[in-house]
Amino acid sequence: MIGQFKVIADAEKAKKVIDHLTEQVNADVNAGVMDIGDPPQRFSDRILELFKQTHVYSIAPTELIQFAYEFTVKQEGKKVVLTTQESDISAFLKVLIDHGARVEVFSGHDYPEEDR
To the nearest 5 percent, what fractions of the chain are helix, strand and coil? 45, 15, 35
Residue 80's closest CA among 63, 103, 57? 103
Domain that holds residue 59: 2-108
Q: 19 in a domain, yes or no? A: yes
Q: 116 in a domain, yes or no? A: no
pLDDT in tens, 45-67: 899 999 999 989 999 999 999 99
pLDDT of 115 > 70? The answer is no
- Whether the full predicted model's pTM is greater than 0.85, yes or no, is yes
Domain count along the chain:
1
CA distance 99 to 32: 30
CA distance 51 to 88: 20
